[in-house]
Amino acid sequence: MIEDVQQDVGQVRVRSVKPRDPVEVREHPDNWRCIGVGNTAAVFQPKDHPQKVVKVYADSHAHIASREAAIYEQLGDSPYFPRFFERGDNFLVIEYKPGTNLYDCLLQGIRIPEQVIQDVDEAIRYAQSRGLNPSDIHVKNVLVHNGRGYLVDVSEYGKAGTCKRWETLKKAYYDYYLDLYKPGLTVPSWLLETIRKWYKANEGEGDILGFAERIKRMFF
Contact partners, residue 155, CB within 8 Å, separation at least 6: 40, 64, 67, 68, 71, 136
Question: Which alpha helices (H) appear in the chain, and where do they start and end?
Answer: 2-9, 64-75, 102-108, 114-129, 165-172, 178-180, 189-202, 208-219
Contact between 101 and 140 (Cβ < 8 Å): yes
Give the total residue count for the chain. Answer: 220
DSSP state of 176: I
The catalytic residue among 121, 136, 175, 179 is: 136
Active site residue 136: yes
Q: Which residues are catalytic?
A: 136
